Chain A
Amino acid sequence: MKIIQTHPRSRAGRARPVRNQTRVFPPSRGQAVLAGEPRNQRFPVEFQVSARKWRPQTFNELVGQEHIVRTLKNAIELGRVSHAYLFSGTRGVGKTTLARILAKALNCQNGPTPEPCGTCPFCIEIREGRCIDVQEIDGASNNSVAEVRELIDNIHYATSACRYKVYIIDEIHMLTRNAFNALLKTLEEPPSRVVFIFATTELNKIPETILSRCQSFEFKPLNHRQIIRQLEEICRHEKIQIDDVSLEEIAKNGAGSMRDAQSLMDQVIAYCGKTINSGSVEAVLGIAGQKALENFVDHLIRKDVTALVGQVQEIAVQGKDLHLFCRDLLEYIRHLTMVKVAKDPARLLDSHACNVETLTRQAGAVHLDELHQIFTVLSRTENEMKRSPMAQMVFEMTVLRLTDVRPFQKIDDLLQEIGQQEAGEFRSAGSPPAPAPIPGGKSVSSSGSAAPAPAGAEETLPWDRVRQEIIRKKSYFDHYLTTCRVIEFGPGNLHLAFSDDFTLGLVKEEKNLETIREAVKKICGHNVEVQLSRDTAPPSAGAGADEKKNPETMNNPPPGPLNETEVIQDALDIFGGVVIR
């Protein structure tokens, strides 16, 4: 692999807080300083972005990732340093930084120590990226098997001065398959005093054979508080005035990445100089701010389309980012939902910017279902806007759609309503011809109309109400109960007969029986013994469910539908074959 060596150019007279100057490419020898002008007239690119300037140099400076830092420190103290580490996690959470700190900790003059001194020659060399025993390799540029072979060829030579030979391979996920495989043997049993540190943002692209040979550490995204603390620290050192809301906005837009947050802060500083207020933060980040969100939701609740479209236009004209507005709006809706459902919303909100009073007022004016719908529509739109070149129009259409939102009606409620209506109709219209005469006077029709129950029961035993109650709880019962017949339904006893063994078996399960019992208890107010049996009576004998034909037609089947044997016969005629069973 191409070895990354720094070419220590003379930087005399330039006081700069350079802490690390890794070179990714071979140095230019000889040809480098051909510049036509004297050095002191060149443009002073002295400025270094915060993410580089404030890159942590010791374990203690590192923000977050306590679990990893502790593991590594202990490993060093106990002398149990593994020969291969894999650091993975999202951008800007400290992977490369920690790799460099670990390299220093291992090679510091004061022995492998969890507290590298930072002043010995080795620490300085590593910090400036010119230590020949600590090689930082760009895995994405040097990703082929040829480069891995070169590395393996060189790995057997002893270190020049340091204790350990450390290979830091960044962006390791871009190595080709062959390159990964070429590395396997060396990675499993490297020469002594060699340590590999791999860093990647995409753990899923690393082959399992590599994973099993490394100690793998997953870096967590940083939370807002950690980012805010670090930003405050930087502002203090740079003598920059900044308020809490601005810090919070910057941290939020960093989305868990310290480097993103620091880049944003650099941007804000570039825009407003030494004093930062939330207005200019909003201008730089392109966010609309809390006030705009509150107004927008107010308009939305009033369903005032003119104002809504107007506000969208205004946001776009002011140069605010509609994607971010959509994202913030989602968060706002989340806050609203929290306020609506939670007892102690202030604890859940965790933000300086939120105005709980406004939220409570607005939450009172919307239905929870509406909030859910708005959230769903917005989250779909947010994705769509990322892909579309016409983001503004997509968002406007979404806004129009949002004004159409109204609360759901629960399907259960609707069903019950319909059921009640139907039952009412049956009772009024269908009672005279209701049940066919029942043989033995025992069975009760399972259809809509309530049949007179056997002696001893209350006037009408409301089997259909029981049935509805069961279906409301477990909708799959609907099918079972339409195919069954009620033999007996008295106080303390319920006897159901099923036309086939399969359904019988299903209903026989204890939890299903329990459901029936509970329903009866709820409707009739007493416990009941449930008895199940196979319906042996021929269909003609039963009064049957409402779907069933009346006895006459069952005895003399109509010419229309074919019976089973006829169907089979037809099939045999067409396809040929034998009936096995």
Chain B
Amino acid sequence: MPLSYILGQEQPKHILKKALEFGSLPHAYLFYGPESVGKKLTAIELAKILNCTEKGPLDRCNTCPSCRKIEARTHPDFFLIEPEKTASGRDGQIKIEQIRDLQKKLVYLPYEGRVKVAVVDSAESLNLQAANSFLKTLEEPPSDTLIILVANNLYQLLPTIISRCQGIKFLSLRPEAVQKILTRKVESGDLALPLEELELRAARSRGRVHRAVEQDLERVQEYRNELLDLVEGSSFENMGQLFEWTRNRARQTEDLQDLLNELLTLIRDLAVLKRSAHPQWIFNRDLLDRLTPLAEQKSLSALLKMFDAAHRTKGALNANLNAQLTLDNMLISFCEAA
């Protein structure tokens, strides 16, 4: 079966299989959906399938020279465009030179494969010039070309780009699929994790593989109680403690986004509990004993305000604002809401 290496993502797989079967591949695909759910992997699998010398163009063998070359990114007809890392290590942009270079290469007929496949990873990081200069190629590319754009957020792309591609939406993976992927990784030796932890990790991953791999379970446990204390204890009377907390937290900048994500989840759980008291829809089900009385205490409007404040803070931290000040600000909003 083609694409069987990809776990989950039934609908995208179905569409691609049909397209391969009918020979109705368009010239440009746009794979979009949450990060780390297999978009880029699917794009690379598709490139292998189209160029495989043994089983292609309906399946791939992963052993022929073509498949191996694509895996090693050395295939002459396979192009992978990624944002260049900037000096500070952040993800940069895709520059117009990269696109011009790609356009020049795509003009030639395939060198050894059947179809030239160009994968543009993180298409939202195409800068304005690059995106615009890609438009004409994307609309009417040279023959025997398949362009695959991979993007996390559809709405960060130019509408003129979206309109020229056939979009395929990827969903968050189900926990079972995440668990299978983790197991496969552990078995193949890519990942060193105890097998019994995998289920919990998969359940907490919200469908994203990298979250499942990276998160530190013990610390998350710690966070959550700390955060609940924060929500519970926020009032103008103990500002001193709160500011103490922000000072400690602001130093560990790399954790902050995770921390805020947890905070948002907790507040969301509280709000849902407040309104319906139906534990089925709660993410942090294991903390229910603590959440229920807290939900009783807070008013819905206070929780909504807290959510807004935390959500704003998350955006502000992304925009590189001073961590301690933004967190202080958030806690002041919490106190106001309480």
Contacts and interface: CB of A to CB of B under 8 A. Distances in A.
Interface of A: 9, 20-28, 31-37, 42-49, 51-52, 90-92, 96, 138, 140-141, 143, 170-171, 173-174, 201, 257, 259-260, 263, 266-267, 269-271, 273, 283-284, 286, 305-306, 309-310, 313, 316, 319, 321, 323, 386-390, 393-394, 396-397, 400-401, 403-404
Nearest to A273: B18
B253 interface: no
A92 B163 contact: yes
Given A393-B264, A397-B307, A400-B275, A35 B109 contact: yes
A305 B168 CA distance: 32
Contacts, number: 190
Contacts of B133: 138, 140-141, 143, 171, 174
Chain B interface, >50% SS class: helix
A388 B311 contact: yes
A91 B272 contact: no
A305 to B, nearest CB: 4
A389 B153 contact: yes
B23 A386 contact: no
Most chain-B Cβ atoms within 10 A of its Cβ — which of A33, A36, A141? A141
Contacts of A92: 163
Interface in B255-289: 261, 264-265, 268, 271-272, 275-276, 278, 280-281
B136 A267 contact: no
A394 B142 contact: no
B293 interface: no
Nearest to B19: A270
A140 B275 contact: no
Contact of A394 (B25, B160, B300, B311): B311
Contacts of A91: 159-160, 163
B276 A305 contact: yes
A140 B114 CA distance: 29
B166 A49 contact: yes
Contacts of A273: 18, 22
Interface in B82-100: 96, 99-100
Contacts of A387: 155, 315
A306 B278 contact: yes
Given A21-B140, A271-B15, A397-B268, A28 B115 contact: no
A329 B168 CA distance: 23
Interface in B101-148: 103-104, 106-112, 114-115, 129, 132-137, 139-140, 142-146
B128 to A, nearest CB: 8
A387 B316 CA distance: 13
B57 interface: yes
B275 A305 contact: yes
A49 B311 contact: no
Most chain-A Cβ atoms within 10 A of its Cβ — which of B15, B275, B311? B275
8 contacts: A24-B136, A45-B146, A91-B160, A257-B163, A284-B15, A386-B153, A397-B304, A400-B275
B15 A267 contact: yes
Contact of A259 (B142, B152, B164, B264): B164
Contacts of B67: none
A51 to B, nearest CB: 8
Contacts of B281: 306, 309-310, 313
Nearest to A176: B129
B279 to A, nearest CB: 11
A45 B136 contact: no
Given A26-B107, A36-B112, A141-B133, A396 B11 contact: no
Nearest to A286: B169
Contacts of B146: 45
Contacts of A47: 22-26
Contacts of B278: 306, 309
Contacts of B106: 25
B25 to A, nearest CB: 6
Contacts of B135: 138, 140, 170-171
A22 B140 contact: yes
Given A32-B109, A45-B25, A140-B132, A263 B163 contact: yes
Contacts of B165: 263
Contacts of B2: none
A174 B127 CA distance: 12
Given A266-B26, A393-B268, A43 B56 contact: yes
B322 interface: no
Contacts of B24: 47, 266, 269-270
A24 B300 contact: no
A140 B129 contact: yes
B305 to A, nearest CB: 10
B272 A309 contact: yes
B74 to A, nearest CB: 16
